[in-house]
Amino acid sequence: MEDSYQTILTSLKSRFQFEVQEFRGDISLVIVPEHVVDICRALRDEFGFEMLVEETAVDYWPQETPRFHVVYGFRSIANNLLLMLRVPLNGNAPSLPTIESVYPNANWFERELWDMFGIRFDGHSDLRRILMPHDWEGHPLRKDFPLGYEEVQFSFNFKEIDERKPYAKS
Amino acid sequence: MENIAQSGTTIQDVSFDEVKHLVSQRALDGETILLNMGPQHPSTHGVLRLLLELDGETVVSCIPDIGFLHTGIEKNMEAKTYQKAEVMTDRIDYMNTVGNNLAYCMAIEKLCELDVPPRAQAIRVILVELQRIASHLVWLGTHALDLAAMSVFLYCFREREMILDILEMCGGQRMMTTYIRPGGLWRDTPVEFEAAVRQVLEIFPARIQDYEALLTKNPLFIERTRNIGYLSPQDALAWGITGPTLRAAGIPYDLRKAQPYSGYEQYEFTVPTHTDSDTYARYLLRMEEMRQSLLIVQQALDTLPYGPVRSNNRKYVPPPRSELSTSMEAVIHHFKLWTEGFTPPKGSVYSAVESPRGELGVYLESDGGPKPYRVHWRTPSFTNLQILPLLSKGVFVADLVAIIGTIDIVLGDVDR
């Protein structure tokens, strides 16, 4: 790990609880949801991470709890650094404070996460679906959301699958 | 004319109640008019829909509505092996297909610590830079067309065809090539490749001058672009803007220089910047970027090394066809790779390249299986489009068209 990261981490360590992960040169801090806004503000104002480049989530259902991890990526252009944050979130309807007040472009990233994962961002100014139609049901990137395909019918289960098909209902 | 705000009806598929808080009180009182622009509109460069609040001809607020081209690529990729998922990456930013392949393959190579031979790296750079020129040509043509300079469009598309011919020569298709593969390239370039690229290098500088002769000092073009769509450097950073739009605001940030990948550190080129940060500055900047790309292609072609174009790591890269008839081990690797696929180690990486529009990042997570567990495309158009409401406050509708053109969005890149 480079020295520049080391100084940032030591300084952050005195104020926040986190765990450091390093994989292939990417450094990520695993933090708790309550600290997310404070850490973002510290990163922007004190350590020069002026840009939010990435905000996404991963769904670990059913094999792991906490179910969701929200992943943030911050870039410092002046110091040429990239730092990732990971926030594990429990439950099927999780919520997290928005970081829109610190990085305004989190607005669309968080709308996308609400749309795709059903993660609610408290205090968000405009939490609507962004990519899916506004009356869509479910959150497509969750692992329990089916991809949608035609089930293959064999002779042993032909009837059983046939009864589930939409035309069988009428 | 019926007023949308007062009638309380649904406009296409977004109910007005949902976006009520984004328009001013005057719109609710019926003083200003709400107008739908797109998704089928020639100036929105695809299926972008804007809900405009207009006071006469002035834009009071602008609400972008995206998702019309959402194809669920991220979800689909989770259901396919790493090799098969790559085919979908071309379809994300369809103006920068080779660049998407590169971003995806670089993420896999970072995850698997896979080596790429120098020849493959140099060919990657040549193709990506040619594609950058092609993408800028499409931008220039459509941008000028929006501003009523039609002939530029025809010239740009004529020249773009030369570049697409080179891609077809290499990958077999004009656009969706999937030519770059994890660990190298699909195959080596054909013999005519070098001559074709040299021809581009010979012809293009004069052609770029031709476009500039048509536009740079054209009073009508200057009138439509200068001081239109000003973006301050502070706003650009806060809104995560990357690419030419950020550089036109005076911040010399380019991933090819900041974190060189694929051998960019060997080539000499400058990152053009500008300080005016208006539509005209972004035009000048992209024209200069095309020249710099030609310079990179020239250097890469002159120093193109000989050697293999695929990594020798058989756990990830299939063996050459010639080995299949002589080596049992090659047959086993071939069989395993094309049935099960390869299995990268467990972990997650973020890897980014400089696309013609800005930072194109791939967040790739592997659970140790043959299919990507999660792929997120951090696309530059998605983030850059977010400043449209900010830039379009108080401008004329005709200038809004210039602003949409200047941020250079590709809707496939926005919606994924």
Q: Give the pLDDT confidence of B97-116 residue by residue, as tens digits.
A: 999 999 999 999 999 999 99
- For the stretch B60-86, pLDDT in tens is 888 888 888 898 899 999 989 999 999
Q: What is the pLDDT of residue B296?
A: 93
* Per-residue CA distances from B120 to B184, B187, B302 (Å): 5, 9, 14
Residue B361 to residue A53, Cβ atoms within 8 A: yes
Report d(CA A118, CA B75) in Å as an integer: 15
In DSSP notation, B199-222 reads HHHHHHHHHHHHHHHHHTT-HHHH
Q: Which residues contact A11 (CB under 8 A, 6 or more apart)?
A: A46, A47
Contacting residues of A for B373, CB less than 8 Å apart: 58
Residue A105 to residue B240, Cβ atoms within 8 A: yes
Q: Residue B323: inside a domain, yes or no?
A: no
Q: What is the pLDDT of residue B21?
A: 76
Model pTM above 0.80: yes
- Cα A10 to chain centroid distance, Å, stands at 26
Window 331-350 of B, Cβ < 8 Å to A: 347-350
Contact B221, B155 (CB under 8 A): no
Q: Which residues contact B358 (CB under 8 A, 6 or more apart)?
A: B241, B242, B243, B244, B245, B246, B380, B383, B384
Residue A37 touches chain B, beta carbons under 8 Å: no
Number of domains in chain B: 1
Q: A36 pairs with which residues across the strands?
A: none
Rounded to the nearest angstrom, the minimum Cα separation between A15 and chain B is 25
Q: What is the pLDDT of residue B10?
A: 45
Q: What is the pLDDT of residue A168?
A: 61
Q: Residue B60: inside a domain, yes or no?
A: no
**Cα-trace Rg, chain A:** 20
Strands B180-181 and B58-65: unpaired
Rounded to the nearest angstrom, the minimum Cα separation between A105 and chain B is 5
Q: Residue B404: inside a domain, yes or no?
A: no
* pLDDT above 90 coverage of chain A, percent: 29
Selecting from A80, A141, A145 the residue whose C-beta is nearest the C-beta of B74 gives A141
Residue A107 to residue B18, Cβ atoms within 8 A: no
For A3-136, the fitting CATH number among 3.30.460.80, 3.30.70.990, 3.10.20.600, 3.40.50.2000 is 3.30.460.80
Report d(CA B175, CA B80) in Å as an integer: 22
In DSSP notation, B245-266 reads HHHTTT----HHHHS--TTGGG
Of residues B9 and A41, the one with the higher pLDDT is A41
Our CA angle for A71, A30, B89, nearest 5°, is 25
Q: Residue B91: inside a domain, yes or no?
A: yes
Selecting from B13, B348, B382 the residue whose C-beta is nearest the C-beta of A108 gives B382
Residue A131 to residue B110, Cβ atoms within 8 A: no
- As a whole number of Å, the end-to-end CA separation of chain B is 36
Kindly provide the ipTM of the predicted complex, given to two decimals: 0.87
Contact A78, A87 (CB under 8 A): no
CATH number for B82: 1.10.645.10
